[in-house]
Copies of this chain bind each other. A is one copy, B any other.
């Protein structure tokens, strides 16, 4: 562990720290940004008697952050900030998160905990494949790696042939990336006759996209590695909000830095542990953009608040199932792309690239699942249609294409294509 004492705090003490820091966060908002303070109902730090009082605060949404581009909800003058990261903003105005020097420290700390949770030490060689820049992925791993002192291969995204070469040249032991990138590595490795077993690669840390258990097994098997699912987003201060540990029974969220709640996405009611709903995050130590009850739109549940086999006491969440805005509704049936992925990935003869095409034709819902295989087998195609029907009760057309016919993306994978 990177910070054994902090990562194994008793729950009582952890919650005392949370309460104390929540009050400080409210105090900061009150002092630094009146508009933000008014938006959350002008709370006095002393009004908060217990963590339970948090549920009386209004939610903060992505739209709130967007509307306040760039610094409308920022707490501090621009000269107090040292950098920012930004959501990609492919859909509308981006979200900007400004960092104070303490925020950069905080980020490095939680990322170092994540890397240590995946078993990394100063002896490791970490190949960082997310982009460095406005996207938080690259710099998140960069700051974490600086804290644990491992050797970094700062290659960034793309250049897959060079990535494979570097795995050997620099004896890479761990690779970080967005969750669809290992598929690209596996694909090019196959084409090139590159054998992951001839490398020192042992660990993969992937995130920023929903990836099913079946996809995870596929990556682990093909690359011969243990994978870790890392979560976090621009709004929470970047990648590193949580990660699973070697026990792989849930994603630990660093509770001395964040409070998580699970709420009903429809009503906003807080759900008891074990019930699935939308993840809501309150930051406790962020200065530039403290969040009070931020609706992440990620669907998950609390698995446990007990001490994990790894020794850590911080809450464990189920792996993210999807996002509320990923949910597809076809002929009245709601489902997540990940559910389709799970079916597809159970068939080793189907390649891990797929696409779900949804839209309306003359007011009627139309949906199609496109898969790739080297075997153009009508029976296989029908079988997938049947399995989808038995899961969702929905007839979905499955189209079988040849290897490489579904376009690959350098960034996040495009799993769902919508038309209207």
Q: Which residues of A contact B (CB under 8 A)?
A: 69-70, 78-79, 81-85, 101, 104, 122-123, 125, 132-134, 138-139, 145-146, 149-156, 169-171
Contact = CB atoms under 8 A, between A and B. Distances in A.
A82 B151 contact: yes
Nearest to A171: B78
A101 B125 CA distance: 15
B132 A78 contact: no
Given A82-B150, A83-B145, A83-B151, 17 more contacts: A78-B151, A79-B123, A79-B151, A81-B151, A82-B145, A82-B146, A82-B152, A83-B152, A84-B153, A84-B154, A84-B170, A132-B139, A132-B154, A132-B156, A133-B138, A133-B154, A134-B154
Given A85-B154, A151-B83, A154-B83, A170 B132 contact: no
A154 B98 CA distance: 11
10 interchain residue pairs of minimum CB distance: A132-B132, A133-B156, A83-B152, A81-B151, A79-B123, A70-B169, A133-B154, A132-B133, A78-B151, A83-B154
B152 A139 contact: no
Contact of A78 (B78, B101, B125): B125
Contacts of A133: 132, 138, 154-156
Contacts of A155: 133-134
Contacts of A122: 79
Q: Which of A70, A145, A151 has the most CB of B within 10 A?
A: A151
A245 B107 CA distance: 35
Contacts of A84: 151-154, 170
A82 to B, nearest CB: 6
Contacts of A154: 83-85, 132-134, 139
Nearest to A79: B123
Nearest to A80: B151
Q: Which of A69, A134, A169 has the most CB of B within 10 A?
A: A134
A336 to B, nearest CB: 32
A261 to B, nearest CB: 31
Contact of A138 (B85, B104, B132, B151): B132
